[in-house]
Amino acid sequence: MTDAAGEVQRLLRPDLRGRTAYGAPQLDVPVCLNTNENSYPVPDVVVKAILDALEDDIAGLNRYPDREFTRLRSALAAYLEKQAGEVFTPEQIWAGNGSNEVLSHIVQAFGGFGRTALGFTPSYSMHPIICETLGTRWIDGAREQGTFGLAPDSAAQQAATHDPSIVFLSSPNNPTGTALPFDVIGAVLGAAPNAVVVVDEAYAEFARPGTRSALSLVAEHPRLVVTRTMSKAFAFAGGRLGYLVAAPEVVDALRLVRLPYHLSTPTQTIARVALEHADLMLGTVEAIKEQRDRLVRELAELGGTPLESDSNFVLFGGLRDEKATWQALLDDGVLVRDVGIPHHLRVTAGTPEETAAFLRAMAALAPTHLAQPTGDVAS
Ligand code: PMP
């Protein structure tokens, strides 16, 4: 360790010493299937509309943006009515630079020193990182061995035991891909009377037919928060716009912790214009779902054990050594994600060509990298 590094460690907040930062590799490879982005570019019509709208904004950049992002909130409400069939007022909606920021606002407002948050591992790795870096103690709740499922009774019992200030549920869950049994949400709300219950629905638009959204419960549960993002199905990860829906009082509390003017004028504008073109922006979702189902099918045929997915990615097991497979795929120009689960990797469903490139590479590796061909699909 250099002197400067040692000095920084000494000066750093003690609970941050020795930690490593979130770091999904950003590599320049032909087939990038590691961060669950939408592989399709923003359609030309939307590019044009965004550029036109931005032109009006630029001269006004001498002024701070609308702190309450009023027009964007209305656009998000209109989108949710259209996409999910749920009606919300702008006062029930909050947004940030990605849903990561929105999640950090929740933790700043409802967590903090002396408080705990509960999540069910494996789940989205940023939930514990956001909590712990903001001084909230993280509790790793358990899922079922093997299937990574979460039953209402088990979730409720763990929530009751720990009496947390925040509970994180993810549906569909990342990295497992599957949606949560809907009853888990009500069970956790009942079992954790002192908690804000967050349902992270980053991948909701990819869910299989019949999957219910927690949005339908917001009206009756003032402690429920549903987070969503434009980064995934909406093909707008670089636009950095995440949002949540909750009771107006919860949303109002988030104003205590956000930094003033956190959403820049261009961010508000590009997100609003993209939302006005929701049909076009979501135009690739069905094609991506087809590639996802193809991944599940063909990985099973190769002898892997993919989990059923409601997202735009698939977690698959059966690998002898996931790190060796990750490197071998990368050597072949395909970047997937090692999510830290032994014998498993996660792959995003891309364009048909990207998916084919991954499957081709995997087929070549299968004889030596897959433990034993079972052809099972874990549910
Ligand atoms: N929630 C989940 C479950 C995710 O997988 C991600 C991104 N991978 C996010 C939230 C955050 O996404 P963003 O900040 O881009 O909205």
Question: Quick check: 102 and 114 in contact, CB under 8 A?
Answer: no
Task: Write down the pLDDT at residue 284.
Answer: 97
Task: Please report the DSSP string for 325-341 in residue order.
Answer: HHHHHHHTTEE-B--S-
Q: Which domains does the chain have, with CATH numbers?
A: 24-40+284-369 (3.90.1150.10), 44-278 (3.40.640.10)
Q: Determine the distance separating the centroid of ligand 1 and the alpha carbon of 275, expressed in angstroms.
A: 18
Q: Determine the distance separating the centroid of ligand 1 and the alpha carbon of 371, expressed in angstroms.
A: 31
Side-chain-side CA neighbours of residue 352 (13 Å): 3
Task: Write down the pLDDT at residue 145.
Answer: 85
Give the CA distances from residue 106 to residues 65, 96, 171, 195, 196, in Å, rounded to whole numbers and listed in that order: 22, 11, 18, 11, 9
241 Cα nearest atom in ligand 1: 16
Task: Write down the pLDDT at residue 20.
Answer: 87
Task: Write down the pLDDT at residue 87.
Answer: 98
pTM score, whole prediction: 0.96
Q: Determine the distance separating the centroid of ligand 1 and the alpha carbon of 366, expressed in angstroms.
A: 30
Q: Determine the distance separating the centroid of ligand 1 and the alpha carbon of 35, expressed in angstroms.
A: 9
Q: Determine the distance separating the centroid of ligand 1 and the alpha carbon of 130, expressed in angstroms.
A: 12
Query: In the structure, which protein residues have their CB atom closer than 6 angstroms to any atom of ligand 1?
Result: 36, 98-100, 124, 170, 174, 200, 202, 229, 231, 237, 242
Residue nearest to atom 1 of ligand 1 (CA): 202
In this prediction, the residues of the chain whose per-residue pLDDT falls under 50 are 373-376, 379
> Which tens digits make up the pLDDT trace of 40-53?
999 999 999 999 99
Residue nearest to atom 6 of ligand 1 (CA): 202
CA–CA dist 48, 276 (Å, integer): 13
CA–CA dist 285, 4 (Å, integer): 48
Alpha helix ranges (H) inside the chain: 3-11, 44-58, 70-84, 99-110, 126-133, 152-162, 183-191, 248-254, 265-276, 278-281, 285-302, 322-331, 352-369
Task: Write down the pLDDT at residue 283.
Answer: 96
